[in-house]
Structures are given as C-alpha cells and as structure tokens.
Amino acid sequence: MDISVEVYVAKTLKLLEYEREAEIQETSSLQEHVSAKELQQRGVCLLKLRVSSQRTGLYGRTVLTLEPYWPGNELPAHNFTPGDIAGLSLSKGECGSDTIASGIVTRVSQSAVSVAFEESYDGLNIDDSAQYKLVKLANDVTYRRLKKTLQKLATYRSGCSQHLIDVLFGQTDLGPAYSVARDGDTAQELVFFNPHLDASQREAVGFALRQREVGVIHGPPGTGKTTTIVEVIRQAVKQKLKILACAPSNIAVDNLLERLAGQKVKVIRLGHPARLLASIQRYSLDAILAGSDESKLVADVRKDMDKTLSSLKKARDGGARQRLREEMRALRKELRQREDAATRDLLKRADVVMATLTGASDEGPLKQLEEDHFDIVIVDECSQAMEAACWQAMLHAPRCILAGDHNQLPPTIISNKAAKEGLAVTLMERVLKLYKDKVMRMLTVQYRMNDRIMQWSSDQLYDGKLVAHESVAKHLLRDLTGVSETEDTAIPLLLIDTAGCHQRELQLPDEVSKGNEGEADLVTAHVDRLISVGVSPQDIAVIAPYNLQVELLRLRLSQKYPKLEIKSVDGFQGREKEAVVISFVRSNEKGEVGFLALERRINVAITRARRHLAVICDSETVSHNKFLKSLVEYLSEHGDVRSAEQYIQEGVLSTDCQRPERLRNLESSQRNKQTSSRSKSDKTTKKNHKNAQQTPQDMRQTTNMTARAALTEEQPSGREVELQQSLVEFHSDSSRTEHAFPASLNSHDRYLVHEIAERLGLVHLSRGEGIERHIVVSKPHKMPCLASSVNNHDASSVKSVSLTSVTCLTPSSDDSNDSGDENVAPPRAERATNAKKKPKSAKKPKNKALDREMDDDFDAVIAAAMKENVSCAFTKCPASTATLGQNCPFCARRFCLRHHIPEVHGCGDKAKARARALISRDGVLYPGSGVPSKKPNARTRAHLQQKLEKKLTGMEEQRRHKKKEK
Ligand SMILES: Nc1ncnc2c1ncn2[C@@H]1O[C@H](COP(=O)(O)OP(=O)(O)OP(=O)(O)O)[C@@H](O)[C@H]1O
Ligand SMILES: [Zn+2]
Ligand SMILES: [Zn+2]
C-alpha cells in the first residue's frame, strides 16, 4: 500500500483524464449530436437572447443579464440553475462553436438569466443589437482544480503540510500524540459541550484532538458521526485552533454547518451563495462581506464602474473610449484590492471556515490567507470523496481529522477503467490500511436501527462491535402513533422468498439493467399492506439495486403513493426511513448475481431501516454470493420468512406460467438464445413449472387470515395493471383486430390506455360523438406511418389520432429543418400569428393530412381540457393536461408537453442518472409487444404544442370578440 507521492500523482492525473473523458462523453455528446433547437427543448440551451443589462459583480466580474430577444416574452422552460457553467455565443452558427466566453450562471428568473464572466465588458465585446444564445457546458472547473492540486502536491516543499504528506504517504512515522487538552499548560480532562455523548463518541473526540497528524473517526450507519464532529470543532475552537471544515458535497457541508450554527462559534461558509441552503446563506462569505465596513467603499467603486461603463458604451470618439477604458481598469484594480482586503480580514477572524473540497482549493478565497493560517483540516464524509479532492483542503494545514465510513458507498466514478485502476480508493481507506487502529476510533453506539436490523451488518462489516442504543434497540413499526399491530408491523425482519416460485428476472438482450416483475408485484403487495395498517408512505423507502427495477416499481406505486420514495441504493446514502423494502431482482438459473455483489451497496440499503426491513429475493439465486447468502441465512434465522407461493395463492401475484402467452414466448425465446440448447431450455421450463405447482413444504410460512383478506380485497397494482392486462391480452390474441373501451372511461383511464397502447405499439383512436365517444384500440396494419393509417380508416370516424401513430411522420429533412437559425421557433406570442400567416401550401401533403387530423384531434383535446381543467404542474404554466400531458416518472406530477421533460421542470439530475437504464427500458418493460416504445419525439411534440397554442389563442380571440359584441 506504500506509494510515493510522485507515483500517486502521476497515476491519479492519468485516471482523472479517463474520468474527465467519460464525463464529457456523457454530458456533451448530447450537445454535439443534437441541434440547437432541440437542445433548447431539452432545457440546456436558450436561443434568441439579447443582453439587457450588465453590471460589475464580486471581484470585478462582468455580470450580463440575458432576456428573450423580443421584449415582453418569458424564457422557454429550461434547466439553467445558479452555479452552472454556461457558454455565450452569437445565435447564428452551430452550437458550441464561436463561444464568446463562458461564465457562471448567477441568477435565474422567469424572464432572464444572469451570467458572471471573468472577462471585462469591453473584453466581451457585446453587441447590444445582436442575438445571442446560451448553452450549458460540462463543468470543467472541478477537474482543473483537482489537477492543480495534484501538481501542487507533487512539488510541495517544506510548507506547513509537508510532514502530514510524508506521514500519509508512509515516508515518516506518526508523531507522538498531544496531551489530552491544550487549554492551559497542564493536561486536563476534556469538558464536553454536549453532555449526551456516548462513550465511543467521547473517546473519538478526545482521540482526534490528540492526534498530531491524522485522526480518523469511523462512523458506521446511525452512530452520530456529525454529532461527534460538531463536538470536535467546538473543542478545537476552545483551544483557539483555526479550523477548515470540508465535505465533498454542498449538502454535507450545510448539514454540518446547520448543526454548528448557534453554538457561539464564528463560522464562515465559502461558496456560491445561490448554492447554499437558505438557512445557511447568512453565514456565506458574500453575505458577511456585504455587511462589513468595507462594503460601502466597495459599493462606491462598483457604482463608479457601472457609470464609467455606460459612458463607455455611449462614447463614439476613440480618444474618449481609450480614456474610459483606462479608468475602468484602474477602478477594477481598486475594487479587487478592496474586496481582497475585506475577504482576508473576515477569513482571518473566523474560527471555522467551511467549504466543499473544491471550494477549499487554492483558486478560491482561501488564497487570501497566509499559508499556515489553519491548524486543523476536518474532512467529513471522507469516504465519499476522491483522495485528490481531499488534498484540495488538506494542503492548508499540518493536521487532519477524517470522518466517514468506508463500508458505505465510495465516490461516484463514471469511468469504469478509472475506477478499476484505483480512482475510487479513498484517502480514508488508504490511511487505514497504512496505520490501522493507530489512527482510528470507531463510533459503536447506533441510534437508528432495531438491533435485529443492525446485527447482520455489524457482524459482517464492523467486527460485531455495534450496539443499538436502548432508545431504538427494540423499536417496531407498531410503536409509531397511528400504526396498528399486525404480523407485519410487529416484526423487524421479513424475507419474502421467491425461490421455486417462478418469478424470474426479465431476460433481456442487453445487460444494461435488470428487472423482475414478480418481485415488483411482491414489493407492491407488501407496501400496500404496510400502508393499509397506518404506516405513512413517507416513512417507507423502496430500494432496488437496478434502475430498471426502480422504474417497474415506480410504475406500480408512484401514482398511488406520491410520497413514497423509490430509489436506487445511491439515492438513500446518509438517510433513514422507518421501513425499508428491498427487491434484489436477480433470479435466474445460472445463479448470476452481478454487481449486486457490491457489499457496500447492500450494507447501505439494509442500514437505512429504523424499525422494519423487508427483503424480497430469490434465495436460491442470490445465495451464489457469499455475502448475500449470509444475509439470507441471517434473515431466515432471525426474521419471518414467507414464500412468494403464499402471495400466488392469494392472487397477489401470478407465476411466469400464468402471465400472458406472448410475454412468456418472448422470454423463453430470449432464454433460448442465451442457453443455445433448445431442448435443455424446454426441460428447465417444464421443471420449473412443476416446482411452481407443488407447495414448498420446507418454507416456514407465517400467515394471518385478516391481513390476508385485507390484501386480496385491494387491487394490488391499481387500474393501470388492469388496463394493461386487457391490452396485452388483446395484443396477443391474433383473432381480434380491434378492442373497444366503454365510453365511461374517465380521463385518467383514457390517458392510461393511451400510454399503454403507445408502449405496445397499438393504434389508438377515438370514435363517436358526445357521450358516446370512446376509445378503440387496433393493431397496426403493418403500417407504422400515419399517412397510410389515415387512408386505411374511414376519415369521418377517425376523430382522434394517437400520438403513437404520428411519431414516424417526422421526416428527416422537412421544412422545419432546424440546423439553421432562421427556423428557430419565434417566441410564443408570435408563433401563433405566424402559423396563421403561413400559407398552407408551403407544407408537404403529408403534413397537410397530419394538420387536418390534428385539428380534429385538438378539438377533442380542447373540449376535454375545458371539461377537466387540469393544468400543468409546472409553476405558473396554465396549459391543460387533461388529455395531452405526461406524468413525470421521477416526481409523479403531471405536466404539459412543454414541461413534462424531466430536465425542463427540475427532475433533470434524476433523469440523467438513469439515462442509460431508460434506453434499455423501451423494448423491455412490455416484452409482450415486441415493438419498441414510440414516444412522440421532440419535434412532433413541439408541433402538437404549437397547434394547441394556436387553438387556444384563437379561442381567446373569439371570446374577446364575443365580449365586445355584448
Ligand atoms: N449521544 C447521543 N445520544 C442520543 N442520540 C444521539 C447521540 N448521538 C447521535 N444521536 C442521534 O443519532 C442520530 C444520528 O446522528 P448524526 O446525524 O450525528 O449521525 P451521522 O452519523 O452523521 O448520520 P449518518 O449515519 O447518516 O452519517 C441523530 O438523530 C442524533 O440525534
Ligand atoms: Zn419530475
Ligand atoms: Zn406546462
């Protein structure tokens, strides 16, 4: 494990390069292959902007405010947020090219975006009458800073951290510990500020303060790591030490700061104020600066600068411009000096400076301080940070205290190659390997889990040292107010075993993600049960290690219980819930467990649960992994075990054999492909069938008649499953060509039918008038295109055209070709009038047909919209979503076609994280169809949206006319 600084730096620089490449590929491949207009629809580009004002911001940066080119308009929906890096360029030309400058977004409102540029205003050379566009760029600041830090580390000579570096790279041994407390000249007992600390916490605090170079506080789940660090900081402040406290993420820093606030400690938080929690903004450097004595002077200089700037813009004569420029330069210098002085003064007076690891790098405000200003650097959540990131903070002091848990999730590394070669190895792991217990104290009392839930994790990963605090050791769901006692709420551990019950994972050609319908049904059944006896949905977490399974679970549960959190393991790190339901997904003949095997993931998933943990898995498959086997054994021994068989008998769940024929065919054909031998596969299918029929006598079963009855009365997965079933059946029944739904379907059902038909590749039409209007679903006549579909039907009966059939209409090059800027859609108000002016003949015949159909369609849409009056969940968006709208799978709210894209309304990060899984999803979720999902593409959507707007504008005008006539 010994590694020299030079070797470490060289290797890490290389790995960072891989990582950077992977990230760029992920984020900006989007921008290279997609037109500017489409980028705007995805919310990462804003077209046709003008510079409406500029002023001078902190450190003399130029802050430009950009508004829609045509006054009075709002910006289209977008996902620029403060702190983003954005590139400014002239609206003409390809995206990404001719970028004038890139800056940081500082403010976002409905009608404007402000961006701070390092360049001076005259340096930017802004043309007030020109059209600009703004594109979100991959953030490269992080990498630049990491590289700089590594270079500094490699060339570090005799600074305050030299000894620490030597120790952490094994060049020098640990120095002798300090005496217990350094308050006076005599050693004395620590007097703790927090009287409630347990023995392990006290020991950790004292130990960390005594360590000369490095102390590690190992905080397993729920053991009060933050509580302990707060005490460490207060003690260190009492010793008059200057502290730099950092964590990898803003949220982790804020979490610590919130706990420290109000403790008579002078704290300053570095970082973009816009990125901080509201409750914490007053501790930000900017806020404190603004209130400082210097701030008035600074404000005066700023005013002068803005004045000079506006005269500069007006000045035509060359000599005058030159003079004004020089004046600006002098003012900028003065401003910078004053602000630096103010910053330095404030930072020096603070007891604790807090920042993210990136924020603590030398490129931030810390460069104002003397090199040896800080005595201790504290890195919280150290096990979630790349080592290189930690060094950004650690090169500021001779001592460090690292806190975290290396048995929970490591830092996220995008590049597999980089991760494999060691980029994910954290400083904490490395130091513990190097010095073992000599530098570490573990917190051993945990304040979260029932002791049964805790014990397995404790035995496996924490040497059996964890003890549940008496306040939680025996707590159960039934102890919560409003929760009744049932067989589910009276037990801390439950295993629902699908072994031998024919609940195979989906056999998919690509290996991107995994799903298991049977397990999803079982999770749904169990969640239903818990909620039906009073457990509140927000107290339950549903966790699956695969994104596809997360999707399957959301389809079943999100609409029913919007407050229920369903996420992958990563989404729950650092959090807790009263009840946790985990689906392990894997169930196959080969016993493949895949990346499930990551022990830390399992550990995090299990240890989120306070009172109740339910694991749903195929014990046979997952037992091929040693770690999981021990979990299954532990659950069998200490918890309740139920066989999925029981749920099959109750009708909650069907076996693979009972699922629609097509689905089975598809699965077995996939299986055949994989096992190559056909006869073998047939045999196994038969064998499994037999297994499913016999009741496994060896399974311990706990049954409770009342709970069971309650369960069967309830629809397990709601209306959607019902409708889906009828459509899947129709789809696989070759004797039927049409399936009519009754006119009584409500709008939500209609929406579901529409969605499911779309996924199955079925054509969906509305027939009849008034109350007789109903949906008819038919199979496509081998014609994927609307043009032919329209001809195939009696035009008068086709009133509504499903979005599905419209999709393929989008020609690869039509008159709305968007590569050039001329065709960029004008702002909303103009769009409607333009559409009217445009002669119809300009369109291709294909589009004419589409137009006519859509006109009809939109009559229906608007009629429905008027009736239902359900509007888009996007703030202030008045659009109706009764018929044309989509539910966001991430937040479960319903949006209009303009706002339903997750990136547009604020679910972008979640969407991005699962982008890969989504790609595989389409062909995968409904294997019975064999047809990939055809979502209307962006342009078709835009077209529809435009139509809707045109209609609405027209109607508004009509109404106005009517009013006038009266
Ligand atoms: N000595 C203590 N006595 C009673 N409760 C405590 C004690 N220490 C911590 N807790 C409680 O335990 C919970 C977790 O504490 P804290 O937030 O400090 O833990 P953490 O280790 O940072 O959390 P995580 O495990 O999620 O990282 C809190 O509710 C806290 O009040
Ligand atoms: Zn959303
Ligand atoms: Zn909307």
**For residues 540-557, average pLDDT:** 86
Q: What pLDDT, on a 0 to 100 scale, did the predictor assign at position 151?
A: 94
Nearest alpha carbon, ligand 1 atom 5:
447
| Predicted-complex ipTM score | 0.92
Q: What pLDDT, on a 0 to 100 scale, did the predictor assign at position 614?
A: 97
pLDDT at 923 over 90: no
- Predicted confidence band of residue 939 (pLDDT cuts 50, 70, 90): low
In whole angstroms, what is the distance from residue 417 CA to residue 400 CA? 30
- Predicted confidence band of residue 142 (pLDDT cuts 50, 70, 90): confident
Question: Residue 80, Cβ neighbours under 10 Å: how many?
Answer: 21
Sign of CA dihedral 202, 203, 206, 207: negative
Q: Which atom of ligand 1 is nearest to the CA of 229?
A: 18
List, chain by chain if needed, residues with CB within 6 Å of any ligand 1 atom: 196-198, 201, 219, 221-227, 447, 574
Q: How far is the CA of 481 from the centre of ligand 3 (A)?
A: 39
Residue 355 carries which side chain, given as an amino acid letter?
Answer: A
Q: Which residues contact 517 (CB under 8 A, 6 or more apart)?
A: 503, 506, 552, 659
Q: Which atom of ligand 1 is nearest to the CA of 447?
A: 12
Q: Is 391 helix (H, G, I), strand (E, B) or coil?
A: helix
pLDDT at 601 over 60: yes
* Closest to 283 in 3D by CA, of 355, 233, 369: 355
**For residues 119-130, average pLDDT:** 80
Pair 54, 63: CB distance under 8 Å: yes
- Predicted confidence band of residue 727 (pLDDT cuts 50, 70, 90): confident
In whole angstroms, what is the distance from residue 382 CA to residue 411 CA? 9
Q: What pLDDT, on a 0 to 100 scale, did the predictor assign at position 166?
A: 94
Q: Which atom of ligand 1 is nearest to the CA of 228?
A: 18
Q: Which residues are in the CB-under-5-Å shell of ion ligand 2? A: 888, 890-891, 907
Q: H or E segment at 99?
A: strand 99-108
Pair 360, 393: CB distance under 8 Å: yes
**For residues 900-919, average pLDDT:** 58
pLDDT at 824 over 50: no
DSSP single-letter state for residue 892? -
Q: Is the pTM of the predicted complex or chain greater than 0.80?
A: no
Q: What pLDDT, on a 0 to 100 scale, did the predictor assign at position 42?
A: 65
| Average per-residue pLDDT for the chain | 75
Pair 501, 648: CB distance under 8 Å: yes
Q: Is 443 helix (H, G, I), strand (E, B) or coil?
A: coil
Nearest alpha carbon, ligand 1 atom 29:
447
**For residues 691-698, average pLDDT:** 30
Kindly identify the ligand whose nearest atom is closest to the C-alpha of 945: 3
Residue 823 carries which side chain, given as an amino acid letter?
Answer: N
Nearest alpha carbon, ligand 1 atom 7:
224
The pair phi, psi for residue 31, each rounded to 5°, is -75, -25
Q: What pLDDT, on a 0 to 100 scale, did the predictor assign at position 128?
A: 82
pLDDT at 203 over 60: yes
Strands (E), 306-438: 352-356, 376-379, 399-404
Q: Which residues contact 486 (CB under 8 A, 6 or more apart)?
A: 478, 529, 533, 704, 706, 707
Q: How far is the CA of 430 from the centre of ligand 1 (A)?
A: 26
In whole angstroms, what is the distance from residue 713 CA to residue 481 CA? 25
CA atoms within 13 A on the CB side of 940: 21
Residue 297 carries which side chain, given as an amino acid letter?
Answer: L
Q: How far is the CA of 858 from the centre of ligand 3 (A)?
A: 17
Q: Which atom of ligand 1 is nearest to the CA of 198?
A: 1
DSSP single-letter state for residue 763? E
The pair phi, psi for residue 938, each rounded to 5°, is -55, -40
Residue 315 carries which side chain, given as an amino acid letter?
Answer: A
**Token pair belonging to 857:** 């369609």
pLDDT at 811 over 60: no
Print burial letters for 149-167: b (CB count within 10 Å at least 16), e (below 16). bbebbbebeeebbebbbeb
- Predicted confidence band of residue 959 (pLDDT cuts 50, 70, 90): low
Nearest alpha carbon, ligand 1 atom 1:
197
- Predicted confidence band of residue 100 (pLDDT cuts 50, 70, 90): confident
pLDDT at 703 over 50: no
Q: Which atom of ligand 1 is nearest to the CA of 225?
A: 21
Mutation pick for ligand 1 pocket among 200, 217, 227, 467 (CB with most ligand atoms within 8 Å): 227
* Closest to 847 in 3D by CA, of 812, 817, 814, 820: 814
Residue 862 carries which side chain, given as an amino acid letter?
Answer: I
Tokens 């975006």 map to which residue?
A: 113
452: left (phi over 0), alpha (psi -120 to 50) or beta: alpha
Nearest alpha carbon, ligand 1 atom 10:
224
**pLDDT tens per residue, range 35-46:** 777 777 667 789
**Token pair belonging to 699:** 């399974």
Q: What pLDDT, on a 0 to 100 scale, did the predictor assign at position 881?
A: 67
Q: How far is the CA of 428 from the centre of ligand 1 (A)?
A: 21
Q: How far is the CA of 877 from the centre of ligand 3 (A)?
A: 5
- Predicted confidence band of residue 269 (pLDDT cuts 50, 70, 90): very high
Q: How far is the CA of 76 from the centre of ligand 3 (A)?
A: 10
Q: How far is the CA of 226 from the centre of ligand 1 (A)?
A: 7
**Token pair belonging to 656:** 């693979």
Q: Which residues contact 872 (CB under 8 A, 6 or more apart)?
A: 878, 879, 880, 881, 885, 894, 895, 896, 898, 899
Kindly identify the ligand whose nearest atom is closest to the C-alpha of 192: 1
Q: Which atom of ligand 1 is nearest to the CA of 196?
A: 1
**Token pair belonging to 143:** 């990498």
Kindly identify the ligand whose nearest atom is closest to the C-alpha of 910: 2
Q: How far is the CA of 227 from the centre of ligand 1 (A)?
A: 6
Q: How far is the CA of 530 from the centre of ligand 1 (A)?
A: 26
pLDDT at 485 over 90: yes
Q: How far is the CA of 943 from the centre of ligand 3 (A)?
A: 15
Q: Which atom of ligand 1 is nearest to the CA of 223?
A: 21
Looking at the chain, the whole-number percentage of residues with pLDDT higher than 70 is: 67
